[in-house]
Every structure is written in C-alpha cells, then in structure tokens.
Amino acid sequence: MITLKDPLVNYHFGAAASTAADYNNVVDIRGEVVLLTRNVRIVGDNTDLNKDWGGQMVTSDTMEASGTQRSGLTELSSVEFKNCGQKQTYNAAIRFDGANTNNQIVTGVVAH
C-alpha cells in the first residue's frame, strides 16, 4: 500500500482497456508505467501459503495477434523487492522472459 501526498499526474496503466478479454477473460497484462525517483520497496503478499507466492515483476517482448511487436523495457534503480518470487520454481522476484530487443538496466536493487 502506498500513500500519496498529491494525486498521480500521468496515466498509470500501459493501456486504457483491460486485456482480459483477449486472454479468456482471466489475465490483464497491462503494465503499470511509473517514474519514481526515490527509494522504493515492493513487498509481496503471501496469499497462497502452500507455494509461498509473493509477487514478481516480469518484462517480456510479445507479438500481438495483429503482428504488432511490443518490446518490454525495465530500468530499475534503488528498489527493494521483499517477499517476492516463488520458491522451488524459476519465478524470481525480477524476471526477464524473452525480453531481447531492449537493454534492461537494474542497479542498486535488492531482492529477498
């Protein structure tokens, strides 16, 4: 949970409409777009206690049904990930899944 002193100025999601209808009305894959210049803590919430699933940040390149190529980009600095990832899987707190078209930048980040 975050508390803002002032309301957000820019649009928060990567797209106005949910993508759930494109994925069997289940998955909304819009990414949140935000520029933060201060130290940030991202803390996962274990809602599935059997798998210790806290959360993850995934960057990927995708091809839409129309043939449009979408390129993921991550630039992280001074961010802490706590209680994220999933035990005994390849689902790490920070994951790059086929993100090949951009140079990803991760500096001063801790994940535990």
pLDDT digits (tens, 9 = 90+) for 56-95: 888 999 888 888 888 888 888 888 888 888 777 788 889 8
Task: Return the pLDDT at 84.
Answer: 85
Q: What is the mean pLDDT of residues 11-15?
A: 58
Distance, CA of 77 to CA of 99 (rounded, Å): 18
Q: What is the mean pLDDT of residues 32-59?
A: 69
Q: Which residues, 6+ apart, have CB-to-CB distance to 87 below 8 Å?
A: 51, 52
Task: Return the pLDDT at 68.
Answer: 87
Q: Are 80 and 42 in contact (CB under 8 A)?
A: yes
9: its two tokens: 């100025």
The chain-wide mean pLDDT, for the chain, equals 77
20: its two tokens: 């759930």
Distance, CA of 79 to CA of 110 (rounded, Å): 7
Task: Return the pLDDT at 34.
Answer: 59
- The answer, yes or no, to whether residue 22 has pLDDT greater than 80, is no
Percent of the chain's residues with pLDDT above 70:
71
Amino acid at 14: G
